[in-house]
Amino acid sequence: MSHLYRHLRVHQIFGANTDVGKTVIAAALVRASTLTNHNTFYLKPVSTGPPQHADDVHVQRYAGPHRHLLNTQCLFRYEDPVSPHLAVRMASQRSGVESSAPSDETFVNAIAEHIRACARPGFPGHMYVETAGGVHSPTLSGTTQLESYRPLFLPTVLVGDPKLGGISSTISSYESLVLRGYIVDAILLFRDDYYRNYEYLFPYFAERGVHVASLDPPPPLQGNLNEDISATEAYYANLAPRSLDGEIFHALRHLDECHVHRIKELDSMPRRTLDSIWWPFVQHGLVKSEKDVTVIDSAWADFFSVYDSSSEPSACSLLAPKLDGSASWWTQAVGHAHPSLALAAANAAGRYGHVMFPHATHLPALKLAERLVHEGPGVGWASRAFFTDNGSTGMEVALKMALRSFSINDKELTPRDKKDLWIIGLKGSYHGDTIGAMDATEEGVYTCEWHQSKGFWFEPPTVAIQNGNFVVSVPSPISPSTSSVHFDDLHSVYDIQNRLHSPLADIYRTHVRNTLQALRRKGERKLAALVLEPIVMGAGGMIFVDPLFQRVLVDAVRDKSLFENPLPVVFDEVFVGLYRLGMKSFGPLLGVNPDIAVYAKILTGGVLPLSVTLASERVFQAFNSPSKVDALLHGHSYTAHAVGCQVANTTLDMIEMLSQQDPWRLAREKWSCGARRESAAVWSFWDPGFVRSVSRLAVVHEAMTLGTVLVIKFKDDGAGYASHTAQNLLRSIESPVCESGALSAAPGGAPFGIHYRTLGNVAYFMTSLNTSLQTIEEIENRLWKTLSATIKEA
Amino acid sequence: MSHLYRHLRVHQIFGANTDVGKTVIAAALVRASTLTNHNTFYLKPVSTGPPQHADDVHVQRYAGPHRHLLNTQCLFRYEDPVSPHLAVRMASQRSGVESSAPSDETFVNAIAEHIRACARPGFPGHMYVETAGGVHSPTLSGTTQLESYRPLFLPTVLVGDPKLGGISSTISSYESLVLRGYIVDAILLFRDDYYRNYEYLFPYFAERGVHVASLDPPPPLQGNLNEDISATEAYYANLAPRSLDGEIFHALRHLDECHVHRIKELDSMPRRTLDSIWWPFVQHGLVKSEKDVTVIDSAWADFFSVYDSSSEPSACSLLAPKLDGSASWWTQAVGHAHPSLALAAANAAGRYGHVMFPHATHLPALKLAERLVHEGPGVGWASRAFFTDNGSTGMEVALKMALRSFSINDKELTPRDKKDLWIIGLKGSYHGDTIGAMDATEEGVYTCEWHQSKGFWFEPPTVAIQNGNFVVSVPSPISPSTSSVHFDDLHSVYDIQNRLHSPLADIYRTHVRNTLQALRRKGERKLAALVLEPIVMGAGGMIFVDPLFQRVLVDAVRDKSLFENPLPVVFDEVFVGLYRLGMKSFGPLLGVNPDIAVYAKILTGGVLPLSVTLASERVFQAFNSPSKVDALLHGHSYTAHAVGCQVANTTLDMIEMLSQQDPWRLAREKWSCGARRESAAVWSFWDPGFVRSVSRLAVVHEAMTLGTVLVIKFKDDGAGYASHTAQNLLRSIESPVCESGALSAAPGGAPFGIHYRTLGNVAYFMTSLNTSLQTIEEIENRLWKTLSATIKEA
Give B249-293 as a 3 state SS string.
HHHHHHHHHHHHHHHHHHHHHHHHHHHHECCCCCCHHHCCCHHHC
Chain A: closest CA distance from residue B561 (Å): 26
Q: Which residues of A touch B265 (CB under 8 A)?
A: 363
Class of domain A8-264: alpha beta
Chain B: closest CA distance from residue A344 (Å): 8
Q: Which residues of B touch A351 (CB under 8 A)?
A: 180-182, 298-299, 337
Packing angle, helices A642-659 and A662-671, rounded to 10: 60
- Do the strands B469-473 and B462-466 form a parallel or antiparallel pair, or are they unpaired? antiparallel
Q: What is the pLDDT of residue A778?
A: 96
Long-range contacts of A508-511 (CB under 8 A, 24+ apart): A508/A461, A508/A478, A508/A548, A508/A549, A508/A552, A509/A552, A509/A555, A509/A556, A511/A477, A511/A478, A511/A479
B647 vs B649: CA distance, rounded Å: 5
State how far the alpha carbon of A589 is from the alpha carbons of A47, A491, A496, A503, B17, in Å. Answer: 55, 11, 7, 20, 54
Q: What does A613-674 look like in DSSP terms, one character per residue? A: EEEEHHHHHTT-SS-GGGS-----TTTT-HHHHHHHHHHHHHHHHHHTSHHHHHHHHHH--T
Comparing B778 with A719, which gets the higher pLDDT? B778
Based on the number of CB atoms within 10 Å of its own CB, is B216 exposed (0-12), middle (13-18) or buried (19 or more)?
middle
**Interface check A523 vs B, CB under 8 A:** no
**In chain A, which residues fall in CATH 3.90.1150.10?**
684-793
CATH, range A390-617: 3.40.640.10
Residue A3 above 50 pLDDT?
yes
Residue B674 above 80 pLDDT?
no
| pLDDT tens track for A451-476 | 999 999 999 999 999 999 999 999 99
Chain A: closest CA distance from residue B478 (Å): 30
**Residues 6 or more apart from B161 whose CB is under 8 A from it?**
B15, B16, B17, B20, B167, B169, B170, B189, B197
A257 vs A182: CA distance, rounded Å: 17
Q: What is the pLDDT of residue A726?
A: 63
What are the backbone angles phi and psi of residue A755, rounded to the nearest 5°? -90, 125
| pLDDT tens track for A693-736 | 999 999 899 999 999 999 999 987 554 444 555 666 688 899 88
The verdict on a CB contact (< 8 Å) between B393 and A396 is no
A614 vs A383: CA distance, rounded Å: 7
CA A661 to the chain's CA centroid: 19
Q: What is the mean pLDDT of chain B?
A: 93
Q: What is the mean pLDDT of residues B655-665?
A: 96
Based on the number of CB atoms within 10 Å of its own CB, is A68 exposed (0-12), middle (13-18) or buried (19 or more)?
exposed
State how far the alpha carbon of B674 is from the alpha carbons of A686, B491, B670, B677, in Å. Answer: 74, 11, 10, 7
Closest partner CB to B293 (pick from A359, A389, A450): A359
**Interface check B434 vs A, CB under 8 A:** yes
| pLDDT tens track for B634-646 | 999 999 999 999 9
CA A794 to the chain's CA centroid: 36
Residue B217's SS3 state is: coil
CATH topology classification for B339-658: Aspartate Aminotransferase; domain 2 (3.40.640)
B531 vs B423: CA distance, rounded Å: 7
Q: What is the mean pLDDT of residues A143-149?
A: 96
The verdict on a CB contact (< 8 Å) between B419 and A452 is yes
**Interface check A480 vs B, CB under 8 A:** no
**Interface check A283 vs B, CB under 8 A:** yes
Pairs of residues, one from chain A and one from chain B, whose beta carbons lie less than 8 Å apart = 593
Residue B120 above 90 pLDDT?
no
Is the torsion defined by CA of B638, B640, B642, B645 positive or negative? Answer: positive
Q: Which residues of A touch B360 (CB under 8 A)?
A: 293-296
Closest partner CB to A336 (pick from B353, B446, B625): B353
Residue B419 above 80 pLDDT?
yes
Q: What is the pLDDT of residue B523?
A: 78
**Interface check B345 vs A, CB under 8 A:** yes
The C-alpha torsion from B403 through B405 and B407 to B410, rounded to 10°, is -150
Residue B158's SS3 state is: strand
Comparing A182-186, A486-490, B533-537, B670-674, the range with the smallest average pLDDT is: B670-674
Containing H/E element for A50? none
The verdict on a CB contact (< 8 Å) between B631 and A400 is no
Closest partner CB to A445 (pick from B280, B400, B629): B629
A201 Rama sector, left if φ>0, alpha if ψ -120 to 50, beta otherwise = alpha
Closest residue in B to A396 (Cα) is B434
Based on the number of CB atoms within 10 Å of its own CB, is A563 exposed (0-12), middle (13-18) or buried (19 or more)?
middle
What are the backbone angles phi and psi of residue A187, rounded to the nearest 5°? -120, 120
B290 vs A361: CA distance, rounded Å: 11
Q: What is the mean pLDDT of chain A?
A: 93
B34 vs B349: CA distance, rounded Å: 45
Indicate the residue type of A717.
D
B255 vs B135: CA distance, rounded Å: 20
Closest partner CB to A366 (pick from B18, B277, B366): B277
Q: What is the mean pLDDT of residues A82-98?
A: 84
Packing angle, helices B339-351 and B166-179, rounded to 10: 120
B279 vs B449: CA distance, rounded Å: 20
Q: What angle do CA A131, A135, A139 make, to 5 degrees?
A: 60
Percentage of chain B surpassing pLDDT 90?
84
| pLDDT tens track for B185-223 | 999 999 999 889 999 999 999 999 999 999 999 999 888
The verdict on a CB contact (< 8 Å) between B285 and A352 is no
The verdict on a CB contact (< 8 Å) between A366 and B272 is yes
Picking from A486, A462, A461, A464, the residue whose alpha carbon sits closest to that of residue A705 is A464
| Range among A676-690, A726-740, B770-784 with highest mean pLDDT value | B770-784
Class of domain A684-793: alpha beta
B640 vs B642: CA distance, rounded Å: 6
State how far the alpha carbon of A603 is from the alpha carbons of A333, A574, A610, A643, in Å. Answer: 8, 9, 7, 13
For chain B, how many helices (H) and strands (E)? 26, 28
**Residues 6 or more apart from B36 whose CB is under 8 A from it?**
B244, B249, B252
Q: What is the pLDDT of residue B86?
A: 87
Closest partner CB to B624 (pick from A284, A328, A399): A284
Closest residue in B to A343 (Cα) is B346
Residue B667's SS3 state is: helix
Are B670 and B663 in contact by the 8 Å Cβ rule? The answer is: no
The verdict on a CB contact (< 8 Å) between A449 and B349 is no
Q: A567: which DSSP letter? A: P
Based on the number of CB atoms within 10 Å of its own CB, is A247 exposed (0-12), middle (13-18) or buried (19 or more)?
middle
**Interface check A507 vs B, CB under 8 A:** no
Are B625 and A285 in contact by the 8 Å Cβ rule? The answer is: yes
Are B610 and B387 in contact by the 8 Å Cβ rule? The answer is: yes
Comparing A5-19, A115-129, B246-260, B597-611, the range with the smallest average pLDDT is: A115-129
Q: How confident is the model at residue B679 (pLDDT cuts 50, 70, 90)?
A: very low
Closest residue in A to B601 (Cα) is A637
Residues of A (166-205) whose Cβ lies below 8 Å from B: 167-173, 175-176, 178-182, 194-196, 200
> A734: how many CB neighbours lie within 10 A of its CB?
14
Percentage of chain A surpassing pLDDT 90?
84
- Do the strands B469-473 and B484-487 form a parallel or antiparallel pair, or are they unpaired? antiparallel
The verdict on a CB contact (< 8 Å) between B404 and A448 is yes
Q: What does A523-564 look like in DSSP terms, one character per residue? A: -SS-EEEEEE-SSEESTTT-EEB-HHHHHHHHHHHT-TTT-S
Closest partner CB to A347 (pick from B83, B178, B448): B178
Packing angle, helices A247-276 and A22-35, rounded to 10: 80
Picking from A268, A153, A162, A139, the residue whose alpha carbon sits closest to that of residue A217 is A162
**Residues 6 or more apart from B741 whose CB is under 8 A from it?**
none
Q: Which residues of B touch A434 (CB under 8 A)?
A: 392-393, 396, 434-437
Q: What string of H, E and C letters represents the secondary structure of B388-404?
A: ECCHHHHHHHHHHHHHH
Residue A72 above 90 pLDDT?
yes
Residues in chain A: 794
Comparing A4-13, B209-218, B680-689, the range with the smallest average pLDDT is: B680-689
**In chain B, which residues fall in CATH 3.40.640.10?**
339-658
**In chain A, which residues fall in CATH 3.40.640.10?**
390-617
B702 vs B713: CA distance, rounded Å: 5
Q: Which residues of B touch A362 (CB under 8 A)?
A: 295-297
What are the backbone angles phi and psi of residue B269, rounded to the nearest 5°? -65, -40
**Interface check A207 vs B, CB under 8 A:** no
Q: What is the mean pLDDT of residues B228-257?
A: 96
Q: How confident is the model at residue B177 (pLDDT cuts 50, 70, 90)?
A: very high
Q: How confident is the model at residue A245 (pLDDT cuts 50, 70, 90)?
A: very high
Residues of B (636-655) whose Cβ lies below 8 Å from A: 636-639, 641, 643-644
Residue A256's SS3 state is: helix
What are the backbone angles phi and psi of residue A323, rounded to the nearest 5°? -65, 130
Q: What is the pLDDT of residue B720?
A: 46
Containing H/E element for B787? helix B773-793
Q: Which residues of A touch B437 (CB under 8 A)?
A: 434-435
Q: What is the pLDDT of residue B105?
A: 94
Are A146 and A178 in contact by the 8 Å Cβ rule? The answer is: no
**Residues 6 or more apart from A719 whose CB is under 8 A from it?**
none
Containing H/E element for A340? helix A339-351
> B235: how many CB neighbours lie within 10 A of its CB?
18
CA atoms in the 13 A half-sphere facing the CB of B550? 32
**In chain B, which residues fall in CATH 3.40.50.300?**
8-264
- Point out which residues pair with B423 in neighbouring strands: B455, B529
Closest residue in A to B610 (Cα) is A609
Q: What is the pLDDT of residue A718?
A: 59
Residues of B (137-156) whose Cβ lies below 8 Å from A: 137-138, 142, 144-145
Question: Which residue in A18, A336, A433 has the most chain B C-beta atoms within 10 A of its own C-beta, making it the best mutation to test that interface?
Answer: A433
Residues of A (579-618) whose Cβ lies below 8 Å from B: 600-601, 605-609, 615
What are the backbone angles phi and psi of residue B200, rounded to the nearest 5°? -75, -45
Q: What is the pLDDT of residue A523?
A: 78
The verdict on a CB contact (< 8 Å) between A179 and B644 is no
